[in-house]
Structure 1
Amino acid sequence: MKIRIKGNSVRFRLTKTEVETFCNKGFYEETTKFAGNTLIYTLKGKEGINELEADFLNNRITIYMPQEELSTWATSNRVGYSNSVDWNDASSLSLLVEKDFTCLDNTSEDQSDHYPNPKLL
Structure 2
Amino acid sequence: MKLRIKGNSLRLRISRSEMDRLVESGRIEDTVQFTPVAGESFTYSLEHERGARKIAVRYAPGNVAVVVPTASVMRWTDESEVGIYDSLALDASTSLELILEKDFACIDGSDADNTDTFQNPNEAAAC
| TM category, shorter | 0.7 to 0.9
In percent, how many aligned pairs have the same letter?
Answer: 30
**1:26/1:70 contact within 8 Å kept:** no
**1:100/1:115 contact within 8 Å kept:** yes
Structure number with greater CO (CA < 8 Å, separation at least 6) is: 1
1:95-114 correspondence to structure 2 within 5 Å: 95-106=98-109, 110-114=113-117
Which string of whole-angstrom CA distances, capped at 9 and with x for unpartnered residues, describes residues 30-71 of structure 1? 001001410100001123333321122121111001022344
The alpha-carbon deviation at position 10 of structure 1 amounts to 0.1
Q: Once superposed, what is the RMSD of the aligned Cα atoms?
A: 1.9
Aligned residues: 121
The unaligned stretches of length 5 or more in structure 2 are: none
Give 1:110's aligned amino acid: D
2:88 to 85, 90, 94: 85
**2:75/2:81 contact within 8 Å kept:** no
Please name the residue that 1:120 is paired with: 123
Determine which structure has more spread, i.e. the larger CA radius of gyration: 2
TM, length-normalised to structure 1: 0.88
Which string of whole-angstrom CA distances, capped at 9 and with x for unpartnered residues, describes residues 55-91 of structure 1? 2212111100102234453344211111100012321
TM, length-normalised to structure 2: 0.84
